[in-house]
Copies of this chain bind each other. A is one copy, B any other.
Amino acid sequence: MKKCSQCQNNLNYNCETCILRLSGKTLFYNVPSSLLQEIEHVDEHISINTKIYEENESNTYLYSITKGIVKLSITDASYKTRATSLLTAGMSFGLEVINKSSYLQNATSITPVKVCKIKLAREQINESKSLLENTLKKWQENITNQNQIIEKFSMGDTHTRIIRLFHYLKENSPLEEKNNFYLPRLEDISSIVNVSKENCSRALSKIKKMKEIILVDKKSKIYKT
């Protein structure tokens, strides 16, 4: 049994049986096993609220999400953190390492996350038609994701934005129980809906008071709608 390189827990997924991959959702869809054996990739568990990498950091890994939600963000000229994307299972981030570039954005887990950590050389992309096709599609998916955060979460009043975010989190939750989701930290909510922490805090208090979300697990900050 493979073990997570971080937490040493057993990992029971591999490329050959990965449902995400087989259903066409991941970077490695249709990539021949022979090539996958040449590409360094390792599964990893990441705890909630963990910085995976920082803007401008140099590294060689890109990531494919197996479970959970990752927030990408940048720091604007007034040193405010601004979320640029929310990514879910099947999506990739850190693709810029293929261009030998340092990371363009900060990546942070906003739920517990499982990822496949991949070292992919540009030359290897040429070796498989599917891998080239998937890589180009993943870049496009990242643009679409950046647009969605504008379309979905940064319009309407604060209450509307936060409720819309909670519905998204519930729909994409890694938790088995339907309607349950991890409540993000106030700073994450603020950076996603693009409203000050103070205003988000006020809106959140009202949402809790009106029982629009209900606490399920205090320790893990799991709520349900």
Report which A residues bind B (CB closer than 8 A): 74, 76-78, 80, 82, 84, 95-96, 98-99, 101, 104-105, 122, 125-126, 129, 132-133, 135-137, 139-140, 142-144, 146-147, 150-152, 155-156
Contact = CB atoms under 8 A, between A and B. Distances in A.
A66 B96 CA distance: 25
A74 B155 contact: no
23 contacts: A74-B150, A76-B151, A77-B155, A78-B155, A82-B150, A84-B147, A84-B150, A96-B143, A99-B133, A99-B137, A99-B140, A101-B140, A104-B143, A104-B147, A122-B133, A126-B129, A126-B132, A136-B136, A136-B139, A139-B139, A139-B140, A143-B143, A143-B146
Contacts of A78: 155-156
Contacts of A125: 132, 136
Contact of A104 (B96, B122, B144): B144
A84 B142 CA distance: 13
B74 A151 contact: yes
The DSSP consensus for interface residues of chain A is helix
A140 B84 contact: no
Contacts of A105: 147
Contacts of A98: 136
A125 B136 CA distance: 11
Contacts of A96: 140, 143
Contact of A136 (B82, B99, B146): B99
Contacts of A139: 95, 136, 139-140, 143
